[in-house]
Amino acid sequence: MSRPVDAVISFLENEKAHGRSHVYLDEEARESLRNLLRRSKQQTAQAAAKPAATTPQPGQTNQPGQQPAQPAQAPATLSATGTNKTEKLASLRARAEHWQPARSLGTLRDTMVFATGNPDARILLVGEAPGHHEENKREPFVGPAGQMLDKILITMGLKRDDVYISNIVKFRPTTPRQTTNNRKPTPQEIATCLPFIREEVAIVQPECIIALGGTAAEGLLGLEGPVGKMRGTWHEFSGIPTRVTYHPSYLLQSGSNLSVKRALWEDMLAAMEKLDMPISEKQRGFFLPKP
């Protein structure tokens, strides 16, 4: 039976097929979407509360909250093999490809998306999980959020190849009847992939980490709550100064909201200062309200 959300998805896909990247939603439409979201969260919570009934068959995936009989346990740490950073990261990537603790959950898709960028980077950025675009290209941050991240890096005077970009979860989380839609990973999904980002940090040894959004902050630092409360100050992950800031997709959603742009930019300025990077007066003044 077709659900109301299918009509919304099909409408949005049709708009996208016609080259439109934005749609106007009046208050009534927004309220309907909020109701759909509330209902889907309730269903996910109810499913999570139920005990598992069956083990998934090969090729079958569970939905979030539906537990397999025996998910494989993720070890707290991994050790990569190799004599230099590139070899070590390659060995880690190969291990991630067949990572049973993630696969056995049955709620993550099969394609593994590892990391991109410079193994000698001074800055390591961590996002949430790959989405539709990242899964297609097998590279983190290549969709609209990735384009926004590229713009942020350019404003800092950096390129993608200057930094190391990874995700807390290496597989795209599944959703019912998934097309291009993505969802936030669950704490269990985060836990299965955490050993990878820990080891990536240990190999790259960046001088500073930037957690992009609440999911990365939750996974790396165990923080909870709104990003607005986590940002603006230094934390530490594996002894490395870590800054939490808004996810680039939040910036896209917040449109012309200057205060979100400025807040994210101040976190980037703080990282630049920490690394003694040159900062021009023009850079310091970006996204300030006009006098």
Q: Name the site residues for ligand URA (rule: CB under 6 A).
A: 127-131, 134, 140-141, 143, 145-146, 167
Nearer to ligand URA, 85 or 172 (CB): 172
3-state SS class at 166 = strand
**CB nearer to ligand URA: pick between 128 and 218:** 128
In terms of CB distance, is 64 or 131 closer to ligand URA?
Answer: 131
Min dist CB 259 to ligand URA, Å, is: 22
- Tokens coding 100: 């049973």
- Of all residues in the shown chain, the one whose CB is closest to ligand URA is 127
Least distance (Å) between residue 269 CB and ligand URA: 22
User: Between residues 167 and 242, which has the closer beta carbon with respect to ligand URA?
Assistant: 167
Min separation Cβ 28 and ligand URA, Å? 30
Residue 138 CA to residue 135 CA, distance in Å, equals 5
What is the widest separation between alpha-carbon atoms in the chain?
A: 63
Tokens standing for residue 33 = 């979407």
Between CA 132 and CA 130, with CA 145 as vertex, the angle to 5 degrees is 35
**3-state class (DSSP) for residue 100:** helix
Give whichever of 74 and 217 is closer to ligand URA, judged by the CB atom. 217
Q: Measuring CA to CA, how many Å separate 195 from each of 92, 168, 198? A: 10, 9, 5
Minimum distance, C-beta of residue 113 to ligand URA, in the bound complex (Å): 7
Shortest CB 91 distance to ligand URA, Å: 22
Q: What gap in Å lies between CA 291 and CA 282, rounded to an integer?
A: 15
